[in-house]
Amino acid sequence: MAKLNFGGVVENVVTRDEFPLDKAREVLKDETIAIIGYGVQGPGQSLNLRDNGFNVIIGQRNPSKSWDKAVEDGWVPGETLFGIEEAAEKATILQFLLSDAGQIAVWPTLKNYLTPGKALYFSHGFGITYRDRTNIVPPSDVDVILVAPKGSGTSLRRLFLEGRGLNSSYAIHQDATGRAFDRVVALGIGVGSGYLFETTFKKEVYSDLTGERGTLMGAIAGIFEAQYHVLRKNGHSPSEAFNETVEELTQSLMPLVAENGMDWMYANCSTTAQRGALDWKNKFRDAVAPVFEELYDRVATGKEAQVSIDSNSQPDYREKLNEELRELHESELWLAGKTVRSLRPENG
């Protein structure tokens, strides 16, 4: 384990240099890894593990669209693709990658297959952290570990195929075998992590729920809508409003931030842009800080978790979600975006 200094704060991290793929394969050479669930994270993690030479099987309900997708991805029914119970029985490591609501529903069945010495793996701290609400309480004689890629399963797979990696956090909730650290790091390397940084189940879910509702998805979508509508209200065309709100950010400026940081992006913009950005940055920070405080408090007290549990467990949840996404898709902002994307040179 390496110790890296982040602006005066020292963190424990694990890199591929100190824990190479060959070492990960050696650690897990006698293990059978069952991916339970083939939705958001399941495909990316399982395919990366398979391509990296690990012994992987899939546990998925049949019939289902996810089962069909697994078959399309090359998993063979009866050989590497099984029902959830059969896969759980065969596995020594159970990667519990169902949705949070799905985990709650399947847990009464899955826990019966957690025999001594096995490992229960999560990519989200939700089920364990909010166990008073989820009732997910593992037996004391299994390892309980977490690897949380900092992005979608789709991004994890794409970056893997490009020879890159997506950074992940790792955590150990329970070390029953004395091998939990080696297991969790080997799995983190195996699924394609760029580097692994240490956390806890609680910190992972608190930061994850805050980020998803904040700058990663919720806040950025809200800011896009606010600026776009102000521009449109003041007579700017959809093309102009979208380009100044979304396209320039995602296609030009954010890649610069990813490359060398916000200050470097500023340095590569006009002096007028720099001055305005620096003058207005603090206004926006101070305006939204109370919203983030409220958000974090709701996450820490479990209120956001309960909202997710209550809504996602409803039988018509998928229909309601699709309707909300349809409204987003058909809004002028994102219809403009569809047109702008189609006009990018690579699409011409």
* pLDDT tens digits for range 53-85: 999 999 999 999 999 999 999 999 999 999 999
Render the burial of 263-301: b for 16+ CB within 10 Å, e for the rest.
Answer: eebbeeeeeeeeeeeeeeeeeeeeebeeeeeebbebbee
CB 14 within 8 A of CB 195: yes
138 with 144: CB under 8 angstroms? Answer: yes
Q: Is the peptide bond before 63 cis (omega within 30 degrees of 0)?
A: yes
Residue whose pair of structure tokens reads 């007290």 in the numeric block: 301
Q: How confident is the model at residue 12 (pLDDT cuts 50, 70, 90)?
A: confident
State whether residue 95 is helix, strand or coil: strand
Which pair of tokens denotes residue 52? 């990296």
Fold entry, domain 2-199: Rossmann fold (3.40.50)
Taking the C-alpha atoms of residue 199 and residue 168, their distance in angstroms, rounded to an integer, is 10
Given pLDDT bands bounded at 50, 70 and 90, which one contains residue 139?
A: very high
The encoded tokens of residue 202 equal 């609680």
Cβ neighbours of 236 (radius 10 Å): 16
- 256-279 pLDDT per residue, tens: 999 999 999 999 999 999 999 999
Burial of 257 (0-12, 13-18, 19+ CB in 10 A): middle
Query: What pLDDT, on a 0 to 100 scale, did the predictor assign at position 346?
Result: 78
Residue of 124, 173, 236, 329 marked active site: 124
Kindly provide the residue ranges of all beta strands, DSSP E only, lying in the chain, ordered along the sequence: 2-6, 9-15, 33-36, 56-59, 81-82, 93-96, 119-122, 143-149, 166-174, 193-198
pLDDT computed for residue 329 by the predictor: 96
Q: How confident is the model at residue 348 (pLDDT cuts 50, 70, 90)?
A: low
What are 34-56's pLDDT values in tens digits? Answer: 999 999 999 999 999 999 999 99
Share of the chain above pLDDT 90, in %: 95
Averaged over 281-299, what is the pLDDT?
98
Backbone torsion region of residue 2, taken as left when φ is above 0, otherwise alpha when ψ lies between -120 and 50, otherwise beta:
beta
Q: Specify the pTM.
A: 0.94
User: What CATH class has 211-347?
Assistant: mainly alpha
Query: Can 124 be counted among the known catalytic residues?
Result: yes
Q: Where are the domains of the chain?
A: 2-199, 211-347
Hey, what amino acid is at 67? W
pLDDT at res. 6: 87
Residue 83's contacts (CB-CB under 8 Å, 6 or more residues apart) are 59, 60, 61, 62
